[in-house]
A and B are shown apart, each in its own frame.
Chain A
Amino acid sequence: MTTHDTPKTIVAADAEIVGSLKSASSVQVEGRLGGDLTCAGFAHIGPGAVIRGNISAESVTLSGQVSGNITARERVDLKQAARAVGDIKAKRLVVEDGVVLIGRVEVNPSGAPIAVPAAGGTPGLETPAADKPSDDSRRGFFGKR
């Protein structure tokens, strides 16, 4: 475990914080947090934790519940019991079977923008809708953003 991974700030299971939490190191949340969590290191959200706010960290391991966006510079781990309602943006993502996840996910291990497949790249297939006029059937389940 690196220095960043060792949690220096711990929100215990019987604790509740109303407001934002900022830390220069890693944070472990087992209780409730009613605000944003920003940390420079590793954010570990325990199985009983409930966070109502955005999370920004180097890496995030989520076993509890989060209602908010998750942004990680490196990696997001969603464990089996995790419930995440919000957008996820990270370089790498691991989702275990059993997770509840509602939101937009943008994950690209290479870091470069994901290339749209070339038009007509696969014979017999229609071109992607990226350069097509708007079509409601391709907007996804969340409608117009």
Chain B
Amino acid sequence: MAASKDPVFIDGYSSVQAVRRLRTDGQDATAPAGGAAGTEAPAAARFRQTAMPIRHEIRCYRCGFEFVVTGRLDKVLCHKCRTFLSTENHTVDGLWGGRLETIGAITVTPTGLIKAGEVFAMDLLLHGRIEGGQLNVKRRLEVFAGASLDLASATFRDLVINAGMVLVPAEPVVCRDITIAGELEAVVECSGLVTVKSGGLFRGAIRAPRLAVEDGAAIEADVAVETAETTAPATAAASEGESHD
């Protein structure tokens, strides 16, 4: 049998056994892992926590198919179009004008410039500039002080505006979560959480189901924060109050 040539797979049961062995060794190095035959294992040796492998939400940059991979990302094959996806992290520290695709992260340094390029990444950390082109970020777009981009040509799930960054997009910002530690003047429509950090400044309008404002944040905005669950009780309470009056 050519078992020795096969790759080594670590199944869930082996992981649990490994954690249990580790905990046993940590508690009492002299105690046997399974306990003596016919006796119960000591309570300290019992496994209490399972280490779950990391889940990676992948979106194929060729066909757009979304799937989940658990564990370490080595070679990722799109289940739909059978394309091997690049998992490398890239750093752009000069001029780039081509196509850049990865399911890892891309970092654009302060000297980096992506001009009329087509970028697809899971996370994008932007210290430099992006001019023209198309920007597809599956997860998080994080902009730092001194960065420059046109949000109209970008799609992303979460937006993080770090301290020192001033962002004034002309178009409404539509995404899931926004974290504002810098300055943002925009109309924001979120399906998740809007967080304004201490020192952050927001002007414009917010429509989101959840809002968190830290002490020290500045806001000058029209705010509509309510979820479908919270709307019904609020309406009921209001009508109750009216009838009470």
Contacts and interface: CB of A to CB of B under 8 A. Distances in A.
Interface of A: 16, 18, 32, 34, 50, 52, 65, 67, 75, 83, 85, 92-110, 114, 116-117, 121-129, 137-142
Interface stretch (B1-9, B49-57, B61-69, B198-206): B198-206
A121 B238 CA distance: 45
Contacts of B223: 101-105
Nearest to B241: A50
B220 A99 contact: no
Contact of B150 (A83, A99, A125, A138): A125
Interface residues of B, number: 49
- Interface SS majority for chain B: strand
Contact of B213 (A34, A83, A94, A139): A94
A95 B211 contact: yes
Given A100-B226, A102-B225, A105-B220, A141 B207 contact: yes
Nearest to B208: A101
18 contacts: A32-B241, A52-B245, A65-B241, A94-B213, A95-B211, A96-B212, A97-B210, A100-B231, A101-B225, A106-B220, A107-B220, A108-B218, A122-B167, A123-B148, A125-B168, A125-B169, A127-B168, A140-B205
Given A94-B214, A95-B211, A97-B212, 6 more contacts: A101-B223, A107-B217, A114-B203, A125-B149, A129-B170, A141-B222
Contact of B215 (A92, A122, A128, A138): A92
A115 to B, nearest CB: 9
Contacts of B116: none
A114 B227 CA distance: 29
A17 B204 CA distance: 37
B22 interface: no
> Which 4 pairs of residues, A with B, have the shortest CB-CB distance?
A140-B205, A95-B213, A140-B222, A124-B148
Given A92-B216, A122-B166, A125-B148, A99 B225 contact: yes
A106 B203 CA distance: 9
Interface in B113-142: 129-131
Nearest to B225: A101
A16 B241 CA distance: 11
Nearest to A125: B168
B76 interface: no
Nearest to B230: A100
Nearest to B238: A67
Given A52-B241, A105-B223, A98 B210 contact: yes
B237 A65 contact: yes
B196 to A, nearest CB: 8
A50 B237 contact: yes
